[in-house]
Amino acid sequence: MSQPREAAQPIRRLYQGLDALASPERYLFTPSDMRALVPDISAQAYRTLLSRAAKEGKLERICRGLYFYKPAKPSSGLLLFHAAARLRAHEFNYISLETALSDAGIISQVPMNWITLMSSGRSSQINCGQWGTLEFVHTTQQAEALADQLSYDSRCRMWRAKPALAIRDMKAAKRNLDLIDWSIANEFV
């Protein structure tokens, strides 16, 4: 018996699988996530399939190794944070430096669409196109040692440094401290 023609089309199977998995909360997928939906095609055919899905406007490449499934229609506006969490899921990461201090009102000017994070992984800047840039700054600090200085931000799906830790990270990373409003920052240090 042969399969129905539609079920045999890899692009249709990819979309059906993503429709079943995706939601406004789960809309970012790695190539290996999606590969499981069409395991029977060659590596070259799979790359062509992803390219076709992008051309059709259903998938959008955020950066190397991460795609946004547009029909999921996320509403939070936190794509860049969610991308950071997915890209470095196997590392210890937390929102810190200028991003944490800006969110706490300690720094008034920060680049738009630029998120700064501390990471047990290597330092790097990842361009995420129209969404902005992720900047990971390497740290050797251990999660256990920082537990009382971090809080979990469920909206961003990441740990977040409390202001005192973010200021300490700024100094350790030799960042520019000129933008810090010390009249506010001294309350936390």
The pLDDT value given to residue 188? 78
The pLDDT value given to residue 108? 78
C-alpha–C-alpha distance, residues 26 and 116, integer Å = 22
The pLDDT value given to residue 96? 97
Whether 51 and 98 have beta carbons less than 8 Å apart is answered as no
User: Angle between the 43-55 and 10-21 helix axes, to the nearest 10 degrees?
Assistant: 70
44 token code pair: 């070259």
C-alpha–C-alpha distance, residues 62 and 19, integer Å = 19
The pLDDT value given to residue 75? 77
Distances (CA, A) of 141 to 80, 89, 116, 123, 167: 24, 17, 16, 14, 15
Alpha helices, H only, the chain:
5-8, 10-21, 31-35, 43-55, 79-87, 97-103, 143-146, 163-172, 182-185
pLDDT in tens, the chain (189 residues): 444 444 459 999 999 999 999 999 999 999 999 999 999 999 999 999 999 999 999 999 999 999 999 999 887 789 999 999 999 999 999 999 999 999 999 997 776 899 999 999 999 999 999 999 999 999 999 999 999 999 999 999 999 999 999 999 999 999 999 988 888 888 877
C-alpha–C-alpha distance, residues 154 and 174, integer Å = 29
Domains observed in the chain: 5-72 (1.10.10.10), 79-185 (no CATH)
C-alpha–C-alpha distance, residues 98 and 109, integer Å = 9
Strands 124-127 and 28-29: unpaired
Q: Could you tell me the pTM of the whole model? A: 0.88
45 token code pair: 């055919």
Helix then strand then coil, in percent of the chain rounded to 5, is 40, 20, 40
* Sole residue written with tokens 């790359």: 47
- Residue at 154: amino acid letter: S
